[in-house]
A and B are shown apart, each in its own frame.
Chain A
Amino acid sequence: MQVTLWLENAVRDAERSGLPALKPLLESLARSTTALRAADWNVDPAGQHPTRTGQDER
């Protein structure tokens, strides 16, 4: 799941659960997840390393 879609779903769920305070935290977490996925230890089955473009390409 792309981080952008994950964030949309997470924020929608947080609002539905009555936790709007979660939104900025989830946005911060999304940035951290993007960074984690861009780390060069993540090799995909095609043998490709991610690039640190700041974009979630998945």
Chain B
Amino acid sequence: MNAEPVTIAQLAPALRARTLTSQSITDACLSAIAERDQALNAFITVLGDTAREQAERADAEMDTGQYRGPLHGVPISLKDLIDVRDQPTTAASRVRQGHVAASDATVVTRLRDAGAVIIGKTNLHEFAFGTTNEDSAFGPARHPLDPNRSPGGSSGGSAVSVLANMAYASIGTDTGGSVRIPSAVCGLVGLKPSLGEIPVDGVVPLSGTMDHVGPLCRSVEDASTVFDVLRGETPAMDRPVPDVGGLRLGILRGYFTDVIDPEVGERFDRACDRLQAAGVALCDVEIRHADDIASTYLHIVLSEAAAYHAPTLESHADDYTPNVRVRLEMGRYILAEDYVRGLRGRDVLIHEVNEALTGCDGLLLPTLPIPAPTIGSGMVRIGGSEESVRNITLRLTQLFNLTGHPAISIPCGCTREGWPVGAQVVGHQHRTTNLLDTARAIEPYLS
């Protein structure tokens, strides 16, 4: 049986009713990997044998009426930053050659308890320190729609695995946008929850102030289900979707829309028009220190990443990919006083995002100012100016890593060439479930 592009929400009832088996859908995912992964390079480690064992066990349980929930028997991939017991966690780097995880990350334990089938470890930008998945000891991951294009990053392999039907969801990490960016590039839903909501133990860190774990899925409902499992909750069934007409969203413009590919901007504006036509109240809001976001983020992420990598930059310097190595080395030069200035800026931006959210169910902005970038292109032309791919891909996502507000990317159409465009919805701190309710309500109107 070939894996059909269905959601977990569509799959789960069929598994429970035993009209589908976990073994059949797992085999279909493994077939998709066998057929396409040599070209797409989504996976670093394929866990075929253990996945089949898990699928067999899931089927045996469900055959006897033991049902663990909507992830029972569902193949899920994991970004190869996340520990799986007795498997290597490579972080896409030769620095970690020979590593074998002694235990599961907490999120993996929760996925296993929910009956998920762990199908493999996905490719990423080395140590999550990039937005294109180009710099990996295992080679770049490639966009399923065009192998010359990046799927985004750093959780690029995760996005490819879901888009190419190799998994029904993937667990990624997001420190500056690394779940939301590849989700937008690949036409998926990507959730960065509130800071601290999903445990990060057993996950290789990048920047402790801003690291988040989150799912990449085919729908907001799936993201909600996986989010509940990752935070240790039983997935809510039949949660009511709020009336879209009762919602109020703040639109972030200025800095957030003035450097943007024209087609991406147009798709976003049309999405806003559809929401307004459906009865969503829209108002323009601002972040007064928006121009300070990039410098604030840079001084925190570089300092914290450099601190973590300092020992291996001494002992294993040549094992890093060159681009990642020089950026990590750069972080070692940041003065403590400037790191502290960054932390102060973070406090200011937290306050300003909270202010912008006042009276709103969420904030709305594009996820990514450009469609899928070409692999190997460090620069991209937008309008009359050239922008760094790294800077432009982080531009609209990094703020919410700084502040810790939950944010989700939802598909909102495609360019004329067929490249997915994403819209980003941001919620109140520590109210990710409310954000997901809002996202579920507006999802049908976004594309």
Binding site for B on A (CB under 8 A): 1, 6, 10, 13-14, 17, 19, 21-22, 25-26, 29, 32-33, 35-37, 39, 41-42
Q: Residue of B at shortest CB range from A11?
A: B333
Taking CB atoms, residues of chain A closer than 8 Å to B292 are 35-36, 39
Q: Hey, which chain A residues are within 8 Å of B233, CB to CB?
A: none
Q: Check A29–B341 contact: CB distance below 8 A.
A: no
Stretch from B53-61, B249-257, B324-332, B435-443 forming part of the interface with A: B324-332
List residues of B whose CB falls within 8 A of some A CB: 289, 291-292, 294-296, 298-299, 302, 322, 326-327, 329-330, 333-335, 338, 341-342, 344-345, 347-348
Instruction: Tell me whether B330 and A39 are in contact (CB under 8 A).
Output: no
Chain A residues with Cβ below 8 Å from B334 are: 29, 33
B330 touches A22 (CB 8 A): yes
Contact of B299 among A10, A17, A33 (CB under 8 A): A33
Query: Which of B299, B327, B348 contacts A25, CB < 8 Å?
Result: B327
Which residues from chain A contact B295 at a C-beta distance below 8 Å?
Answer: 32-33, 35-36, 39
Q: Is the interface of A mostly helix, strand, loop or mixed?
A: helix
Report the nearest A residue to B349, measured CB to CB.
Answer: A41
A23 to chain B, nearest CB (A): 10
Set of chain B residues within 8 Å of A39, measured between Cβ atoms: 289, 292, 295-296, 341, 345, 348
Complex Cα gap A17–B333 (Å): 13
List residues of chain A with CB within 8 A of the CB of B291: 35
B-side contacts of A41, CB under 8 Å: 289, 344-345, 347-348
Complex: how many Å from CA A41 to CA B345? 7
Q: Is B345 a contact partner of A32 (Cβ separation < 8 A)?
A: no
Cβ of B301 to closest chain A Cβ, rounded Å: 12
Cα–Cα, bound, A28→B335 (Å): 15
Min CB distance B149 to A, Å, is: 25
B342: chain A residues within 8 A (beta carbon): 36
Contact yes or no, B327 A37, CB < 8 A: no
Partner of B329, one of A19, A35, A36, A42: A19
| Contact in complex: A42, B335 (CB < 8 Å) | no
A4 to chain B, nearest CB (A): 13
- Cα-based distance from A20 to B208 in the complex (angstroms): 29
The closest CB in chain A to the CB of B299 belongs to A36
Give the distance in Å from the alpha carbon of A42 to the alpha carbon of B295 in the complex. 14
Pick the residue among B330, B344, B348 that contacts A29 (CB under 8 A): B330
Given known contacts A6-B335, A22-B330, A26-B333, is B341 in contact with A36 (CB within 8 Å)? yes
Flag if A36 contacts B345 (CB, 8 Å): yes
Contact call B326/A25, Cβ cutoff below 8 A: yes
Are A26 and B294 closer than 8 Å at their CB atoms?
no
| Cβ-defined contact, B345 with A19, below 8 A | no
CB distance from A53 to the nearest CB of B (A): 15
Say yes or no: B294 contacts A32, CB within 8 Å: yes
How far is B335's CA from A29's CA once the two chains are assembled, in angstroms?
11
In this complex, what residue of A is CB-closest to B337?
A1
| Distance from B98 Cβ to chain A, minimum over Cβ atoms (Å) | 26
Q: 13 additional contacts, CB 8 Å, given A33-B295, A36-B345?
A: A17-B329, A19-B326, A22-B326, A29-B330, A32-B298, A32-B299, A36-B338, A37-B341, A39-B292, A39-B296, A39-B341, A41-B289, A41-B347
- In the bound complex, CA of A53 to CA of B347 (Å): 24
B326 touches A1 (CB 8 A): no
Q: B326 touches which one: A6, A10, A21 (CB < 8 A)?
A: A21
Which residues of A lie under 8 Å from residue B345 when comparing CB positions? 36, 39, 41
Which among A1, A14, A26, A35 is the interface contact of B335 at CB below 8 angstroms? Answer: A1
Q: How far is the CA of A5 from the CA of B134 in the complex (A)?
A: 34
User: By the criterion CB–CB under 8 Å, are B341 and A42 in contact?
Assistant: yes
B331 shortest CB reach to chain A, Å: 9
Instruction: Give the distance to chain A from B324, nearest Cβ to Cβ, in Å.
Output: 12
10 A-B pairs with least C-beta separation:
A36-B295, A32-B295, A10-B333, A35-B295, A25-B330, A39-B292, A41-B348, A21-B326, A32-B298, A36-B341
| Chain A neighbourhood of B294, CB < 8 A | 32
Q: Is the CB of B329 within 8 A of A14?
A: yes
Q: Which residues of A contact B335 (CB under 8 A)?
A: 1, 6
The chain A residue with its CB closest to the CB of B327 is A25
- Given A32-B295, A42-B344, A37 and B338 touching (CB < 8 A)? yes
CA–CA, A13 and B332, complex, Å: 11
Residue of A nearest to B348 (CB): A41
Chain B residue numbers with a CB within 8 Å of A42 are: 341, 344
A22 to B322: give the CA distance in the assembly, Å: 11
Least CB distance from B71 to A in Å reads 42
